[in-house]
Amino acid sequence: MTTREMTAQEHAQTARDFLVASDREFAAGDHLQGSEQLYWAATQAVIAICQRRGWRYRSHRAMKQAVAEVAREQGEPLIVGGFSAAERFHENSFHDNMEDYDIATERPAVQRFVARLLAVLDGETGRR
């Protein structure tokens, strides 16, 4: 049996689904699962952009490079900070090392990061 590669739009929808799942987990008090779901939302948004553009994304380094390139071309250097915040949530999913105030301040940054990347993707979809 062969597996089919997801499309950019499917990755975008998966990012949205992970955001909803993250909110649900945080609301239930599960910071580990909420953190991991939030990180996966961010990575799925990056993968969607990469797929659309034909960029590499199968390593963490490639995804960081893609984020830096999107930030540069959009003239929004703070985009990089959104992915950095997502990385902290990934670490938190293993080590539970974020304080409640960290979660409260960093979570919106990741949510904005995902929304911004999906808006860039949607803009590219409209031009095709």
Quick check: is 2 in a domain?
no
Q: How far is CA 75 from the centre of its chain?
A: 19
How confident is the model over 58-78, as a mean pLDDT? 96
- The answer to whether 53 and 65 are in contact (CB under 8 A) is no
Q: Write down the mean pLDDT value for the chain.
A: 94
**Is the C-alpha dihedral spanning 26, 57, 85, 123 positive or negative?**
negative
How confident is the model over 84-93, as a mean pLDDT? 98
Predicted local distance difference test score (pLDDT) of residue 124: 83
DSSP annotation of 76:
-
- Count of domains in the chain? 1
Quick check: is 1 in a domain?
no
- Burial pattern 60-92, b for ≥16 Cβ within 10 A else e, equals eeebeebbeebbeeeeeeebbbbbbbbbbbbeb
Quick check: is 3 in a domain?
no
How confident is the model over 37-58, as a mean pLDDT? 97
Residue 55's pLDDT band (cuts 50, 70, 90): very high
Residues 6+ apart with CB under 8 A from 124: 52, 53
Q: Read off the pTM.
A: 0.93
Span 2-15, pLDDT tens digits: 456 899 999 999 99
Is a pLDDT exceeding 60 seen at residue 83? yes
Q: What is the domain range of residue 71?
A: 8-127
Choose between 127 and 78: higher pLDDT. Answer: 78
Is a pLDDT exceeding 90 seen at residue 59? yes
Quick check: is 36 in a domain?
yes
Q: Tell me, what CATH number does 74's domain have? A: 1.20.120.330
How confident is the model over 66-72, as a mean pLDDT? 98
Determine the Cα–Cα distance for residues 77 and 79; give it in Å rounded to an integer: 5
Quick check: is 63 in a domain?
yes
